[in-house]
Amino acid sequence: MRRRGRRFCGPREDSDPMSVVSNLFDVAMVFAVALMVALVSRYNMTEMFSQEDFTMVKNPGKENMEIITKEGGKVNRYTPSGEKSDQAGLGKRVGTAYQLENGEVVYVPE
CB atoms within 10 A of CB 15: 8
Q: pLDDT at position 23, please?
A: 86
Q: pLDDT at position 8, please?
A: 56
Alpha carbon separation from 89 to 22, 48, 60, 107 (Å, rounded): 64, 37, 21, 21
Q: pLDDT at position 65, please?
A: 84
**pLDDT mean by block of 10 residues, the chain; 110 residues:** 58 68 89 92 74 81 83 83 62 83 84
Q: pLDDT at position 35, please?
A: 95
